[in-house]
C-alpha cells in the first residue's frame, strides 16, 4: 500500500509526463500507469484531464513563487533582490529535467482550446510581473517607471526561459540578468 496520497502521486506523474511529452500527447491511462493509481481513483480525484492540468499548473505556480521568494529573501540589497529572479532561473535552467516553462508550453498547446488553462498561464505570468514591480518599488527606480520596467524584466525572464528550453543555452539567465542590470542602471540615472 502506498503511503503517499493518490492525488500527489497523480500530480507528480502528470507533471513529469506533461513536461516530457506535452499535454496533448499524454493520456489519462499513461498517468494512471506512471502514478500506480487506479483509473477509477484517478477520475475520482480529477474528473477530467483539464482539471488535472489545472491542478498541476496551480501547484507549479506555488513552487515557482516559493522558489523565487527564497532567492529574493536571501538578499538584502534592493537591486540584488530584483536580480535574484534571474539567479533562480539560472539554477532552474541547470536542472537536467528542465524542459522550459510549463506555463508557456501549456499555453502553446492548450491556450486556444481551454480558457481556464489560458487564464492560469496568464495569471502566473502577471504574478511574476507584479512581483517584479513590488521589488522595483523597493529600489531607486522612479515610481513612474516601475510598471514599465517590471514588464521589460518579465519579458527578459520569459525570453530566457524560451531560449534555454529551445537551444539548451543554460547561460540565458545570466544574459537576461546582465540586460536587467543595464535596464535598472538606466532607470536610476
Strands (E) located in the chain: none
Same domain flag for 54 and 145: yes
| Residue pair 68/131 in contact by the 8 Å Cβ criterion | yes
Average pLDDT of the residues in 79-96:
97
CA–CA gap between residue 108 and residue 99 (Å, rounded): 14
pLDDT of residue 1: 41
CA–CA gap between residue 96 and residue 46 (Å, rounded): 29
Position 2 pLDDT exceeds 80: no
Same domain flag for 66 and 159: yes
What are 91's three cell numbers?
Answer: 539554477
Position 150 pLDDT exceeds 90: yes
Same domain flag for 15 and 75: no
CA distances from 14 to 42, 82, 139 (A): 11, 32, 40
Average pLDDT of the residues in 126-148:
97
Same domain flag for 98 and 172: yes
pLDDT tens track for 90-119: 999 999 989 999 999 999 999 999 999 999
* Mean pLDDT computed over every residue of the chain: 95
> What CATH number should be reported for the domain holding residue 38?
1.10.10.60
Same domain flag for 13 and 72: no
CA–CA gap between residue 52 and residue 57 (Å, rounded): 9
Domain coverage including residue 41: 1-47
Counted domains in the chain: 2
C-alpha triplet 40, 17, 68: angle, nearest 5°: 115
> What CATH number should be reported for the domain holding residue 71?
1.10.357.10
What are 21's three cell numbers?
Answer: 511529452
Amino acid at each position: 500500500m502506498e503511503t503517499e496520497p493518490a492525488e500527489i502521486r497523480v500530480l507528480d506523474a502528470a507533471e513529469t509526463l506533461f513536461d516530457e511529452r506535452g499535454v496533448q500527447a499524454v493520456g489519462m491511462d499513461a498517468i494512471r500507469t506512471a502514478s500506480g493509481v487506479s483509473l477509477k481513483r484517478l477520475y475520482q480525484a480529477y474528473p477530467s484531464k483539464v482539471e488535472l492540468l489545472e491542478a498541476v499548473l496551480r501547484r507549479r505556480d506555488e513552487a515557482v513563487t516559493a522558489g523565487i521568494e527564497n532567492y529574493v529573501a536571501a538578499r538584502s540589497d534592493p537591486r540584488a533582490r530584483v536580480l535574484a529572479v534571474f539567479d533562480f532561473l539560472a539554477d532552474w535552467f541547470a536542472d537536467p529535467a528542465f524542459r522550459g516553462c510549463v506555463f508557456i508550453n501549456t499555453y502553446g498547446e492548450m491556450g486556444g482550446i481551454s480558457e481556464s488553462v489560458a487564464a492560469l498561464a496568464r495569471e502566473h505570468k502577471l504574478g511574476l510581473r507584479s512581483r517584479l514591480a513590488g521589488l522595483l518599488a523597493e529600489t531607486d527606480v522612479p515610481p513612474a517607471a516601475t510598471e514599465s520596467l517590471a514588464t521589460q524584466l518579465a519579458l527578459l525572464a520569459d525570453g530566457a526561459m524560451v531560449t534555454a528550453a529551445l537551444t539548451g543555452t543554460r547561460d540565458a539567465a545570466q544574459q537576461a540578468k546582465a540586460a536587467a542590470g543595464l535596464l535598472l542602471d538606466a532607470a536610476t540615472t
